[in-house]
Structure 1
Amino acid sequence: MTTVPRSPAAGLQGSRCPSCSVVVHPADEVCPRCGGPAEPAVLQGAGTLWTWTVQRYAPKSPPYQVPPGGFEPFAVGYVELAEGVRVAAVIEVDDFDRIRIGMPLTLTAGDGVPRARPTRTGEEES
C-alpha cells in the first residue's frame, strides 16, 4: 500500500487529475476516471448539503471510541463542494430539525471524519 503525499497547505485534502481535471476525496495517487497520475489538492471548505441522516446508535469499535459522557446521536451527511466532489462529514448542529438539504455548510478537516457546520454570513466567499 502506498500513501499520497499531503499538500503542505492546511485544509481538506483531495487530489486532482492534471489530464482530465477530475477531483476526488480522499486523495488518491491514480485518477479514477482516466487512470493517469493524480496530484494532491486542497479542496474548498464551502459546499451544500446533498443528503443526511441521524446516527442514533453507537458505531462499532474500532475506530469509533465512545466519548466519556456516553454515546449521543449525531448527524452525518454528504456535502457537495464547488469542485463537484461529495464528502462524507459529521454535521455539527444543536438541533437536527434545522438541517435542510441544500443548506450551505463549511467543512473542516481534522483527525478522523471531516466536520461540517452551517456557514455563517460572510463565509460564503472563503
Structure 2
Amino acid sequence: MTFVDDGLLTDTPDGPALLGSRCTDCGAHTFPRQTGCPRCSGARMADVPLHRTGTLWTWTVQGFRPKPPYTGTAGHEPYGVGYVELDGQLLVEARLTESDPARLRIGMPMELAIVPFRQADDGPTHTFAFAPAGDPS
C-alpha cells in the first residue's frame, strides 16, 4: 500500500497507528513527529505510536474546492475535517470519513481509518482519516 508519507504511520499489534513523538523530559506528545519539544524546548523526543481511538473535539465540512496550489481532481466532493482528541496525548487535525452534519457530533467516539487519497496510474495513494467508531464504511 502506498501512503502520502510513509513516516506518518506505524504498525502495531492492533493495526496501523499514527506515529508521533513524546518528549522524554516533560511528556508532551506531538504529531507529526518532531525533533524538539514545543512545550519545554527539550531535544529528547522519542517516536511513539499514538492511540488509534479518540473523541471528536470539533469539526466542520469542507464544502468547496480548495484554492490553488491545490492539485487534486477538478471535481470536488464535500468532506469532513475535525480535531480528534487522543486521550492523554493530543488533538490531531484530520480528515473525517463522514461529511454528513447530521451524523457528526462533538464528543462522539472516533477511530483511525486508512482511506484512498488519490488515484495514480500505478495505483491508489492512501492517507489517514478518522471514522465514527464502529462505522462499517
TM-score scaled by length of structure 1: 0.77
**2:57–2:83 Cα contact (<8 Å) kept:** yes
Q: How many residues align?
A: 114
Which segment drifts farther, 46-55 or 30-39?
Answer: 30-39
Listed as ranges, the gaps of 5+ residues in structure 2 are 1-6, 12-16, 116-124
Question: Within 2, Cα distance between the matches of 1:49 and 1:8?
Answer: 20
Structure 1: unaligned runs, 5 residues or longer: 1-5, 122-126
Matches within 5 A, 1:1-126: 6=7, 9-10=10-11, 11-37=17-43, 38-66=45-73, 70-93=75-98, 95-108=100-113, 114-120=128-134
Task: Write out per-residue CA displacement over residues 21-75 of structure 1, whole angstroms, 9 at most, x where no aligned residue.
Answer: 11111110001111112111110110000000110111134455126xx211111
Deviation at 1:87, TM superposition (A): 0.5
Cα distance between partner residues in 2 of 1:74 and 1:116: 12
TM-score between the two structures when normalised by the length of structure 2: 0.72
Higher percent of residues as strand: 2
**Structure 1 vs Structure 2: percent identity of aligned residues?**
39
